[in-house]
Structure 1
Amino acid sequence: MYNCGYHLGSCSCNYDCQYYGNCCSDFHWYCPSYTTTDPHPQCGGHLYGSGLFSSPNYPNYYHDNAYCVWYLSAQQGQRIFLTFADVQLERCCNCDYITIYDGSSTGHSQLGKVCFNDTTHQVFHSSSRYLTVVFRSDYSGVSHGFKALFTSSLSADEGHVNCSTDNMVIVIQRSYLNSLGLSGNDLYVDEHLCRPNISSTEVVFSFPLDACGTVKEMMNGYVSYTNNVRASQSQSGEITRQSQFLLHVGCRMEPDTLVQIFYMAKEIVNANITGTGRFNASIAFYTSSSFNQQIYDSPYEVNLNQLLYVQVELNRPDNSLDLFLDTCVASPNPSDFKDRSYDLLRNGCRRDNTYYSYTSGEHYYARFSFQAFKFLRTHTYVYLQCKVIICPSNDYNSRCRQGCRPRRKRSLDSTYHTNTVTLGPIKLKGA
């Protein structure tokens, strides 16, 4: 005899029975799917700071036609990190699923969707103090549900992390550690040999992105780097106020950035864009289409209509990333690329008939050429600014794979931020 339950006239099946099929056949009860006439348990709500939440009835079966919304929030200036410790949903991603939104409501952009038993890409980072999580189930099969953990980042006066193409820098205020009964000498990251520098006010870890146990992940078109700061037991024999200490450190790298080159001056043509969660890219002139010899002469004097060869690349080569040239604009004014600008490339589409692309969106570098020109024959120098987008090379639906797109989606402009670096202008010979 099967061991099955009975709830208000409906059959519910435990681990001895399938939740569909002929459950409890000795009693002639038939269960095509798990249902209950019990009132749906309440789910969702407003959660603050850090904590756990789960699907209705977890770890038992959730109900059909569930719609639960959790509104997560943190202090001003903090961000929210969401992970899923367990996910067991119906084997149909369009039937039962979890959706994560980057903001205070479902009207904000979607960070991702989790279904079935997918916990591979577990970490979601909000861009503000708000995150919204929605769980839906349909009218058919159910499963055990999910359990999620959310934590908030440190406030600015407690600590922060900066990432570039090359490095991760973690800064933790000693006053924050003191409030927990810890000192800077107690801290380490996932690679124990990586130790911090300690000043009178701060504890600073600084190391390359591919070192010290940092984990690289690609999800939803983003590249993220994560590590953990932990504390060892006190060597002084004193009892600290916190027996366990763990800071999850993450950087989500924005996919677009700006590089700028001025065709001018005796400066080494080698500069970076550095910012929190930004890839560092450099732009430089080369002597020919072989791109073997970089030009360091300055000022870089060229003839009118001379072919100029330009390469934009990530400062740290990474074959898992592609760099796509989205827009390149020339201007006689290094601080104004809108009012008196000239487009060589716009939204991946060629605007100047001398522009030629050797490669873009296929490697961690992009290469192109164009003919030198002079604005209105009244300006000595011409400045060039290029906006590039970074994509995971295994994302075949990324912006890098789409090429020319005459009309840009508004979300790309509104979601991502840009930075600019200056290298120096080119000058026409005899000008």
Structure 2
Amino acid sequence: MVLISLPETALSCGGNLNGSGSFYSPHYPNYYPDNSYCVWHISAPYDQRVFLTFLEVSLENCCHCDFIAVYDGSSTNSPLLGRVCFNGTMSSFHSSSRYMTVVFRSDSSVVARGFYATFSSSLPETSGKVDCSSDNMNIVIYSSYLHSMGYSGYDLYLNDQRCRPQVSSYQVVFSFPLDTCGTLRKFSNGSVIYTNDVRAFTSNHGEITRQGNFQLRVSCYMDQDTTVQIMYEAWENITSSITGTGRFNATMAFYTSGSFTSPVYSTPYVVALNQNLYVQVQLHRNDNSLVLFVENCVASPSPHDYATRFYELVRDGCRVDSTYFSYTSGDRNVAQFRFKAFKFLRSNPTVYLQCRVIVCKANDPNSRCSMTCRSRKTRSLHSADEESTTLVLGPIQLKGTEKAAEEESPEKDVAEVKD
């Protein structure tokens, strides 16, 4: 369970919010009451937008019963930006104007811990943007915005002054690996946050200057299956932000043996019943400060439907299939396991595998990765450090119903990987 320190000024149920801050469901982090109905009206300064992020969502397992609705305007009559339900991961919304309305509603049945959200004022997209992947940060600042502030692209630099941008007549672009240019990294509420600053040299001509201390703070929130980037403008006071979205990159692949040295590439992966299948999940970014843990793994005869017909290998970190064996237990930056091949009765012999893998901070005894198996009865409701990357691997094609030999030649194994 992630405990978030709540500011005393945050409202418990509805109200008017301005600028930047946070709000949460009634009684959070304890259970919200039945029949809750809360409305928050959020506004940003003139010519700016509202950027809203839900850091934690734990609602009843029913989207029509308990939900959060986000409206693009000053009332519930405004266009609906979207709904957040029980299975919502870290979700973000941008308004098209300076107003946004958020409604939280619960029915009279099951309750849960609720939600915690933050909001900020955001500069329009015409000013700039930032995109992040597992490996790189790309910052684009438009020249028209810089000129309105009295600066040129040639004035800009990052925390490491040797990192300078590419400058054109209409935009300024910084593009660099996440672990360079003075980028800082920290862990917060289950996210890995990378931060840097765009700064500017002030004019050294004359005795006075009317230029402020220009600074754009750029942050990438790497939250398992989602990356949210925030770049906010810091003069004397931080009042606005520029935001973007991306993905946390990971791959899942078959290997020829338990040594996990030789991946297989072709498709389909032709195997025999009861043959050992070896799977490895790995982050694109090799970061020893992060570890992986297999939370759920489900097989299906369809790559698009894992609810109608499915077979569980792992549930809540606990082994369900007797042939499943994990080589790692949330203590490495790769996840490796094996299981024996099977087929679904009364269907074609093709099988697909979908796994949800959690990313945690290494050496954290309180992280989900350190808890390993926990039953559904004792499991706490979904929290910010339990979001997961979902990966699909397949197809696996059976070559016969005969029992496989104890050890088949691994050189015959072939596979397809789908991210």
Q: TM-score, normalised by structure 2?
A: 0.59
Deviation at 1:357, TM superposition (A): 0.8
Q: Summarize the alignment of residues 230-379 of structure 1 with structure 2, pairs less than 5 Å apart.
A: 230-233=199-202, 242-255=211-224, 276=245, 278-376=247-345, 378-379=347-348
Contact 2:224–2:388 (CA<8 Å) still a contact in 1? no
Distance 1:50 1:185, change over 3 A: farther
Contact 2:355–2:392 (CA<8 Å) still a contact in 1? no
Determine helix, strand or coil for the equivalent of 2:383.
Answer: helix
Deviation at 1:426, TM superposition (A): 2.2
Contact 1:256–1:387 (CA<8 Å) still a contact in 2? no
**Corresponding residue number in structure 2 for 1:411:** 382
1:226 is the counterpart of 2:226 = no
Q: Summarize the alignment of residues 31-46 of structure 1 with structure 2, pairs less than 5 Å apart.
A: none
Distance 1:428 1:234, change over 3 A: farther
| Runs (5+) with no aligned partner, structure 2 | 1-7, 11-15, 22-40, 58-89, 95-99, 101-118, 227-243, 402-419
**Corresponding residue number in structure 2 for 1:169:** 138
Distance 1:383 1:192, change over 3 A: same
Determine helix, strand or coil for the equivalent of 2:260.
Answer: coil
Deviation at 1:355, TM superposition (A): 0.9
Distance 1:158 1:233, change over 3 A: same
Q: How many Å separate the matches in 1 of 2:181 and 2:298?
A: 39
Q: How many Å separate the matches in 2 of 1:77 and 1:102?
A: 19
Contact 1:223–1:252 (CA<8 Å) still a contact in 2? yes
Determine helix, strand or coil for the equivalent of 1:78.
Answer: strand
Deviation at 1:420, TM superposition (A): 4.9
- Which residue identity is paired with 2:304? S
The correspondence for 1:78, drawn from 44, 51, 61, is: 51
Deviations 1:134-167 (A, max 9, x none): xxxxxxxxxxxxxxxx975544443333333212
Distance 1:178 1:416, change over 3 A: farther
Deviation at 1:209, TM superposition (A): 1.2
Q: How many Å separate the matches in 1 of 2:137 and 2:399?
A: 43
Deviation at 1:235, TM superposition (A): 9.2
**Corresponding residue number in structure 1 for 2:396:** 426
| Runs (5+) with no aligned partner, structure 1 | 1-42, 52-70, 81-100, 104-124, 131-149, 258-274
The count of aligned residue pairs is: 292
- Which residue identity is paired with 1:78? F
Distance 1:44 1:254, change over 3 A: closer
Deviation at 1:317, TM superposition (A): 1.8
Deviations 1:45-67 (A, max 9, x none): 9874379xxxxxxxxxxxxxxxx
Deviations 1:68-98 (A, max 9, x none): xxx9974544369xxxxxxxxxxxxxxxxxx
Contact 2:129–2:140 (CA<8 Å) still a contact in 1? yes
**Corresponding residue number in structure 1 for 2:186:** 217
Deviations 1:346-372 (A, max 9, x none): 111112111111113101111100111
Deviation at 1:176, TM superposition (A): 2.5
Dislocated runs of 4+, deviation >4 Å = 43-47, 71-75, 125-130, 150-153, 198-201, 234-237, 415-424
Deviations 1:106-131 (A, max 9, x none): xxxxxxxxxxxxxxxxxxx996789x
Q: TM-score, normalised by structure 1?
A: 0.58
- Which residue identity is paired with 1:412? S
Distance 1:325 1:213, change over 3 A: same
- Which residue identity is paired with 1:282? T
Contact 2:300–2:353 (CA<8 Å) still a contact in 1? yes
Deviations 1:315-368 (A, max 9, x none): 222221111111111112112222222211111111211111111310111110
Distance 1:276 1:424, change over 3 A: farther
Determine helix, strand or coil for the equivalent of 2:327.
Answer: strand
Q: How many Å separate the matches in 1 of 2:172 and 2:392?
A: 32
- Which residue identity is paired with 1:283? M
Bigger-Rg structure (1/2): 1
Determine helix, strand or coil for the equivalent of 1:352.
Answer: coil
Contact 2:353–2:393 (CA<8 Å) still a contact in 1? no
- Which residue identity is paired with 1:192? Q
Contact 1:221–1:395 (CA<8 Å) still a contact in 2? no
Q: How many Å separate the matches in 1 of 2:354 and 2:9?
A: 47
Contact 2:287–2:333 (CA<8 Å) still a contact in 1? yes
Deviation at 1:416, TM superposition (A): 7.2
- Which residue identity is paired with 1:427? Q
Deviation at 1:304, TM superposition (A): 1.7
Contact 1:326–1:346 (CA<8 Å) still a contact in 2? yes
- Which residue identity is paired with 1:336? D
Q: Compute the RMSD of aligned alpha carbons.
A: 3.8
Q: Summarize the alignment of residues 394-405 of structure 1 with structure 2, pairs less than 5 Å apart.
A: 394-405=363-374
Distance 1:353 1:240, change over 3 A: farther
**Corresponding residue number in structure 2 for 1:389:** 358
Contact 2:160–2:182 (CA<8 Å) still a contact in 1? yes
Q: Summarize the alignment of residues 38-187 of structure 1 with structure 2, pairs less than 5 Å apart.
A: 48-49=18-19, 74=44, 76-78=49-51, 152-187=121-156
Higher strand share: 2
Q: How many Å separate the matches in 1 of 2:205 and 2:351?
A: 63
Deviation at 1:178, TM superposition (A): 3.2
Distance 1:185 1:376, change over 3 A: farther
